[in-house]
Amino acid sequence: MTWGVLAAVGGGPDQVQLTQHQAEHVDLGPEWTRFPIARLHHTKTTGLWTLYWRDRNLKFHRYQPLDPSPRVQEMLDYRDKHADPIFWG
């Protein structure tokens, strides 16, 4: 599996969407799928980034266990180190 970070479609310049990129089954050809798993939102007035998780209806909700941070890398590191199943189903 390959993971990517893409700008959110229609989300504006203050959002980053984390998506899972996965090759389709070998019998189906070279197509890849993209599936949103999380979103980071930057608030200009506070200078803070906030992490959101995606539910089964493709709606995003604030990830409560992590406080907003001025450092986007802190958000990415937390998500990678804690492996919370809320992001992976």
Q: What is the pLDDT of residues 31-50, one digit of tens each?
A: 666 667 788 888 989 999 99
Count Cα neighbours of 71 within 13 Å in the Cβ-side half-sphere.
5
Structure tokens, 45: 């007035």
Q: What is the pLDDT of residue 3?
A: 43
Residue 2 β-bridge partners = 21
How much of the chain, in percent, has pLDDT values that exceed 70? 62
* Per-domain boundaries in the chain: 2-82
C-alpha to C-alpha distance for 44 and 82, rounded to whole angstroms: 27
Nearest-angstrom CA–CA distance, 43 and 86: 23
Q: Would you place residue 6 in the very low, low, confident or very high pLDDT band (cuts 50, 70, 90)?
A: very low
Band of residue 78 on the pLDDT scale cut at 50, 70, 90: confident
Q: Per DSSP, which regions of the chain are E strands?
A: 2-7, 15-23, 32-43, 48-54, 60-62
Rounded to two decimals, the pTM is 0.71
